[in-house]
A and B are shown apart, each in its own frame.
Chain A
Amino acid sequence: MNFVPLYIIGIVLIGYILIETVFIYKRAYKRGLELGITKTQLNETTRSSVIFSIVPSIPILIGLITMIPLFGDVVIPWIRLSVIGSVSYETYAATAIKGAVGLSSLTENLQVYSTAIWTMTISILSGMIILIFFYKKYTTQLESIKKRDKRWSELLIAAMFMGLVGTIGAQQITIGGYNTLALFISVCIMAVIGGLSLKFKWLEEFALPVSMLGTLVILYFIIGGVR
């Protein structure tokens, strides 16, 4: 498979995002000064947000490592995790499509590979499309919808995810064998880290990627052998 052109798109895309972000930042900074916010305050906001974001960025890298064998290269994980998306979303999307056609590896069939990346990309764009067409018009209305029933809108998202968790959980349990074992190991690691993060708040961000990687490492030793 030829991944070189994808690296070029990745560089263009991420370069573009950085430029636009810096541009919006600069304009906001200027507007902040006009509003009478002090330079010290604006710089302090920047400084603390930078520091705040360092630790939660590292788990994204751990997740990225687990995605490399699935996609056969680092370029797709790199692009997908630098833009909107997440380790769990991208991995689920890719493996669901691969599984549905009965492939053991995504890289076996180019058509399936391309379907996986098309699906991953299109399905995550819905929020951006809403912003393009409706955001300006509905800025005020959005607020009233949210205020009307904040709790229900939270439950709505949780309930939709429950459908996903319920289906995939049930699937992994009925498959049995190492799948059920992996599910169980992952639950245990998450329970331990989740418990610890009640005391050490910074651990929270690491819980999911460490559970994933930890489960794979433990399974590797149980199953044994290098491919």
Chain B
Amino acid sequence: MNQEKYINTLHKHGKRFMIVSSLLMLAVPFVFSLIHNAWPTLELIKVGFMTVGAIYIPIGIIETINYAPMLGVGATYISHVTGNISNMKLPASLSAMKQANVEPGSDEAEIISTLAVASSSIVTILIILVGVLLLLPYLSVIDQYLGTVTDYLVPAIFGALGFVFIVRHWKLVIIPMSVMLALFYFVIKDPTVQPVFVPVASLLSLVTARIMYKKGWIK
């Protein structure tokens, strides 16, 4: 077998892998809705798309375009099902290629990267599985204690996440953050409506980032 044939078969298997696993992922909300007879209304879908889809759908596409050439074919398929690409799969692949002393993009790198990402994915899935089994008896305890403060999960995440982004790209945050602060202080005072402005802020952020990049203010 030559490499071209290997890659072609890999694409065939990869496609099957993507299709079956995305259908199984979709089966989760589908079965939930079916057994509880609770389907999303058009109004709710709109909210979901404005607050979540409008930002994460394009990010998913850009990330795929970004990571695919670095990971190689086999690793791309596996990592797009198992996730944690930037923080685990990509570093695992890069360090394995470096350790094996293969040139990224070569036939050998394709193999090494696939082995690294496959092993990494299996380890993570198994650790989460064992963790979940260990946690099962304590679900009500966790709910009892953390349940009272779950309302603050969002600031707890975005404080830490925001800090990292601001440290790395402080110039990018100034305009979207100040515009949103002004908007929320003076005009849109209802916090439940505010997340709908995420796509607006992202667009604003994109335009200002592009201008700053073109002008050479950010490198």
Contact of B55 with A100 in the complex, beta carbons under 8 Å: no
* Known contacts A69-B142, A135-B11; A179 and B152 CB within 8 A of each other: yes
* Known contacts A57-B124, A70-B150, A157-B63; A169 and B184 CB within 8 A of each other: no
* Known contacts A111-B39, A118-B29, A142-B68; A211 and B156 CB within 8 A of each other: yes
Q: Which chain A residues lie closer than 8 Å to B184 at the CB level?
A: 170-171, 174
Contact of A28 with B111 in the complex, beta carbons under 8 Å: yes
Contact of A220 with B118 in the complex, beta carbons under 8 Å: no
Separation in Å of the A213 CB from the closest CB of chain B? 8
Contact of A101 with B192 in the complex, beta carbons under 8 Å: yes
Separation of A131 and B60 alpha carbons in the complex (Å):
11
* Known contacts A45-B112, A166-B205, A167-B195; A82 and B36 CB within 8 A of each other: no
Separation of A87 and B92 alpha carbons in the complex (Å):
20
Chain B interface mostly: helix
Separation of A52 and B119 alpha carbons in the complex (Å):
10
> For window 2-17 of chain B, which residues contact chain A by CB distance below 8 Å?
3, 6, 9-11, 13-15, 17
Assess whether A196 is interfacial by the CB under 8 Å rule.
Answer: no
Contact of A73 with B83 in the complex, beta carbons under 8 Å: no
* Known contacts A35-B111, A117-B29; A70 and B153 CB within 8 A of each other: yes
> For window 123-159 of chain A, which residues contact chain B by CB distance below 8 Å?
123-132, 135-136, 139, 142-143, 145-146, 151-159
Q: Which chain B residues lie closer than 8 Å to A190 at the CB level?
A: 159-160, 163-164
Separation of A40 and B36 alpha carbons in the complex (Å):
53
Q: Report A15-56 CB contacts with B as 1/0, cut-off 8 Å.
A: 011101111110111011011010001101110111011101
Contact of A158 with B165 in the complex, beta carbons under 8 Å: yes
Contact of A46 with B177 in the complex, beta carbons under 8 Å: no
Contact of A79 with B195 in the complex, beta carbons under 8 Å: no
